[in-house]
Amino acid sequence: MCHRGGSKCLIWGVLLLFCVGGPNADAQRTNQRNVKKPNAKTKIRLPESVRTKKPVDMDVAPVRQSSRDEIRYAANELDTFIERELLAEGIAPQELASDEVFLRRIYLDVAGRIPTLQEAEQFLASKSSDRREELIDQLLSSPDYVSHTYNWWADTLRLVDRPQPNLVADPYNGYVKESIAENKPYDQWVYEMLTADGKVWDNPAVGFQLRDDGMPLPYIDNTVRVFLGTQIGCAQCHDHPFDEWSQYQFYQLAAFTAGTSTRMRKGDPGYEKTNPANALINEGKKRFDKGRVPGEFQRIARANTYIVSERPRRLRLPHDYAYRDAKPKDFVEPKVLWGEIPSSAAKSSPREQFAAWVTSPENPRFSQTIVNRLWKRLMGVGFVDPVDDFRDENPCVNEAAMDYLCKELVRRGFDLKELTRIVLYSQTYQRKAVDYDITDGDLYYFPGPTVRRMTAEQVWDSILTLAVDNPWPFQRPTAEEMKPVMDLDFSKVDFAEVQRRSAKFKETYFASVYKRNLNQHAYQRNVLCRASELPAPLPADHFLRQFGQGDREVINGSQDEATVPQILAMFNGPITHVMLEPGSALVDNVLEKNNIKKRIDAIFLSVLTREPSTEDRVLASRELSSQNQTGVGYGNIIWALLNTREFLFVQ
């Protein structure tokens, strides 16, 4: 397990490397390692936008304070189900984690970052018997919760800003974030995404359908995998070799969404004889110099042809269908995989029937899947793992606990924040963490959460917490902001108006220009903002990608394996140098302390969320003495702590 003693040799081994002249010996002599208070002559290289503390402009639905007693009771019931299974397996539950360990864990799991020095000092000084519950409720009601939860869903929903060159998905990504902020009931949110019509800036939920634009069969596979925890993709081409699903059943399910259209059609306003975007671009070839139609003109014109709608259409089996239950190219009637279409949707369109079935309280797999996904997010391992592989051969390790949480979810109106609160209030979550490797093949019965490496976003946002006072210098654009710039009514606009709109588009949301404008918040080409607000996908050499953030092409494509580029990025990368720049939050916090002991304490509490042990203090003081108490000594201590397993892991 990762704990103080277990990481101490690494902490001071790294520190020794700095002292004797390791790979960063030259860097010690630079301003980046020379921690000192800025003065009139000191060059401040951090953008002003991240150095000024500002409240985050975001409305976040608070938790229900009136339900705290109910949540406590539910958490106790959950503990009972977990402990009953532990007893049956002869496993003792872990002791409760210390306040220091709990503090760091809850910030990383709910806020997606480590606490600031001030936040840590405030919690650890509290004498309130309810301080843990109060902190949980505070964080669940914060913009940090929205940011971290957005990152989680971005990995699952494969959120990118431009799924295709002409498709602008920013409004959809903003919609996901806003749905989290307002704590939209989960069943309502999913239903909206499965049934939305229109343009993405009119009804941004259509972005879910557009993410798989042009791929109607993978759309069904991805939808079932994300929301129902079932992998049916193999049945697209043949009967599933490891599960009960047949190719015929796959096509029956796909028949519900076969009538979904994602483009303008003849008869739509502005679409008469020819595609209006093509007509505008062809006219542009005559009007623009040398016939070169600017990219922003083409993008905004084509982006306005993406309109989601539903029309009657029957689905046929493929031409090479090879099973005896039907013939190639036969029409297929819609049918769900299990259960029935809710009676309330009997007269609805096929797509609405499909959405009603997916999100029904009577569909157990819908609630089981989100409960299981959330459980893995907070505990490190799912009741069923992998989380999207529910089948008889992949058993649930505690059906009673999962069923209880599912019933609570449905009873509370699919309120994901209340579900999260139940888990966080539980002793099961608040126990000491356990080293566990799922690849060993042993089932995990949850004597406590598992030790796990931070996600790429948690590492990034934690370093920002150390480095800057304002990690929110901007937020990703919303549909409301983009609509006045992006929306074209082809039945009314003329060529000159499209030119004006495209010029405005270029100044604001045209991808290359938008990213370039973000550089005003950058340090050494790294834009200093929460990971949730950065463009996606990021370049492959970006810190977040080096630490395992996926390219968002596959569901849950992030990775947590250690790599050499990660070591180099932490050891001597620009994003870690930023915290020792004059004017950084960490520098200011440390130098505000008026003696060496308090400064050492501030460093440990800032980086590791704990006070140093006696041995830590002795070694740190010795390092400062060897450097004549210069900023280099403080920099060495910070770098040593940052490059430890204790920093990078949630324990």
Which tokens hold the place of 602? Answer: 């501030």
Is pLDDT above 80 for 12?
A: no
| CA 101/CA 121 separation, integer angstroms | 14
**How confident is the model at residue 179, as a pLDDT?**
98
Report the predicted TM-score, pTM, of the whole model to 2 decimal places.
0.93
**How confident is the model at residue 629, as a pLDDT?**
58
**How confident is the model at residue 239, as a pLDDT?**
66
- Residue 377, exposed/middle/buried by CB under 10 A (0-12, 13-18, 19+)? middle
Structure confidence by residue, pLDDT tens digits, 115-153: 999 999 999 999 999 999 999 999 999 999 999 999 999
> For residues 123 and 130, is the Cβ–Cβ distance under 8 A?
no
**pLDDT mean over 311-315:** 94
Which range is least confidently modeled, 28-32, 71-75, 258-262, 334-338? 28-32
Is pLDDT above 70 for 34?
A: no
Domain ranges in the chain are 155-359
| CA 480/CA 535 separation, integer angstroms | 18
Is pLDDT above 60 for 30?
A: no
pLDDT bin (cut points 50, 70, 90) of residue 526 is very high
Bridge partners of 164, per DSSP, are 167
> For residues 143 and 56, is the Cβ–Cβ distance under 8 A?
yes
**pLDDT mean over 269-281:** 93
Task: Give the residue from 592, 566, 565, 589 showing the smallest Cα distance to 638.
Answer: 589
Which range is least confidently modeled, 112-116, 483-487, 587-591, 600-604? 587-591
Residue 237 has what DSSP assignment?
A: T
| CA 557/CA 542 separation, integer angstroms | 16
Is pLDDT above 50 for 1?
A: no
Q: What is the DSSP string of 200-236?
A: TTTSGGGHHHHTTTT-HHHHHHHHHHHHH----GGGG
Structure confidence by residue, pLDDT tens digits, 212-247: 999 999 999 999 999 999 999 888 787 666 667 899
**How confident is the model at residue 164, as a pLDDT?**
93
Structure confidence by residue, pLDDT tens digits, 559-589: 988 888 888 888 778 888 888 888 899 999 9
3 state DSSP class of 311: coil
Q: What share of the chain is helix, strand, coil (3-state, %, to 5)?
A: 55, 5, 40
pLDDT bin (cut points 50, 70, 90) of residue 38 is low
Q: For the chain, how long is the longest CA-to-CA vector?
A: 85
Task: Give the residue from 388, 401, 404, 523 showing the smallest Cα distance to 468.
Answer: 523
- Percentage of residues in the chain having pLDDT higher than 70: 92
Is pLDDT above 50 for 4?
A: no
> For residues 103 and 650, is the Cβ–Cβ distance under 8 A?
no
Task: Give the residue from 200, 150, 214 showing the smallest Cα distance to 172.
Answer: 200
**How confident is the model at residue 624, as a pLDDT?**
85
- Residue 458, exposed/middle/buried by CB under 10 A (0-12, 13-18, 19+)? buried
Which has the higher per-residue pLDDT, 632 or 42? 632
Residue 592 has what DSSP assignment?
A: T
Is pLDDT above 70 for 41?
A: no
| CA 299/CA 527 separation, integer angstroms | 25
**How confident is the model at residue 626, as a pLDDT?**
79
Is pLDDT above 80 for 644?
A: yes
**How confident is the model at residue 625, as a pLDDT?**
82
**How confident is the model at residue 27, as a pLDDT?**
39
- Percentage of residues in the chain having pLDDT higher than 90: 78
Around Cβ 127, how many Cβ atoms within 10 Å? 5
**pLDDT mean over 20-46:** 52
Length of the chain: 651
Bridge partners of 649, per DSSP, are 453
Backbone angles phi, psi at 96, to 5 degrees: -65, 140
**How confident is the model at residue 457, as a pLDDT?**
98
Is pLDDT above 70 for 315?
A: yes
Which tokens hold the place of 641? Answer: 């702590």
| CA 392/CA 395 separation, integer angstroms | 6
Average of per-residue pLDDT values in the chain: 91
pLDDT bin (cut points 50, 70, 90) of residue 332 is very high
Structure confidence by residue, pLDDT tens digits, 439-463: 778 899 999 999 999 999 999 999 9
Residue type, position 362, single letter: E
**How confident is the model at residue 633, as a pLDDT?**
86
| CA 11/CA 22 separation, integer angstroms | 14
3 state DSSP class of 290: helix
Residues 6+ apart with CB under 8 A from 211: 157, 158, 159, 163, 169, 172
**How confident is the model at residue 567, as a pLDDT?**
85
**pLDDT mean over 490-504:** 96
3 state DSSP class of 555: coil
Which range is least confidently modeled, 104-118, 383-397, 443-457? 383-397
Residue type, position 631, single letter: G
**How confident is the model at residue 581, as a pLDDT?**
87
Task: Give the residue from 455, 469, 454 showing the smallest Cα distance to 578.
Answer: 469
